[in-house]
Amino acid sequence: MKLWVGLGNPGAQYAQNRHNIGFMAVDRIASDHGFSPWKSRFQGQISDGALAGEKILLLKPGTFMNLSGQSVGEAARFHKLTPADITVFHDEIDLAPAKMKLKTGGGHAGHNGLRSIHAHLDDSYARVRLGVGHPGHKDAVAGYVLRDFAKADADWLDDLMRGISDGAPALARGDSAGFSNVVGLRLNPPRNAAKPIAEPATKIEPTQAPAPDPDPIDTRNPLQKLMDRFR
């Protein structure tokens, strides 16, 4: 079994916040891949299903972001999972909007949800870092991530969620490169090759001069030819 955790804050007032992009990601996976209905467990909401032959448990902690580790730790201990079995989807202000990167291990970079998970597990779990952009000054970060996505973000956000859902089977197989490639193609589809110039419907052939008539055959006898010369 693998545990995939989406980070966010519970409650309708937070549903469209930048901080809740992790919730959005696991919601999309559950919806698109026929996972079970969400139910309350482990101080949060869980949904289970299978991808690429691997059992996946999705978790949305209900403890609010700063205490996410309580929920994640409880689920991990119950199912006897190690950090290597856990992937966390979270907002990342150090990535531009519509960017995604994978990371395993390392620090929490000030993210309170990751900080809490570090405290209940360790830092060796995997993360799917979902770019939401930076407000430009560290003092503005808290207000920025707790505001809803702008209307202008709707298209790329939908493409990112679709890409994550499309690539989820690859992630379940442990194919990080394949997962990243699927998401990248959804966000940046290849341009169509230039179409060849169409041939005209009717070809116009060059005008040819008519062939000259062949010389007529002279059937006169020598006497007639001589008489014709003196006419």
Residues contacting residue 89 through CB under 8 Å, at least 6 positions apart: 4, 5, 6, 7, 21, 22, 25, 26, 127, 128, 130, 164
Q: Is a pLDDT exceeding 80 seen at residue 197?
A: no
Q: Is a pLDDT exceeding 70 seen at residue 206?
A: no
* Res 228: pLDDT: 61
8 Å CB contact between 32 and 25: no
Q: How many CB atoms lie within 10 A of CB 138?
A: 10
Q: Collapsing DSSP states into helix, strand and coil, what is residue 160?
A: helix
8 Å CB contact between 104 and 69: no
8 Å CB contact between 45 and 5: no
d(C-alpha 152, C-alpha 154), whole Å = 6
Q: Is a pLDDT exceeding 80 seen at residue 131?
A: yes
Q: Determine whether 19 is an active site residue.
A: yes
* Res 222: pLDDT: 62
pLDDT band at 110 (very low <50, low <70, confident <90, very high): confident
Has this prediction a pTM greater than 0.85? no
Q: pLDDT tens for residues 86-105?
A: 999 999 999 999 999 999 99
CATH number belonging to domain 2-187: 3.40.50.1470
Q: Is a pLDDT exceeding 60 seen at residue 207?
A: no
Q: Is a pLDDT exceeding 70 seen at residue 79?
A: yes
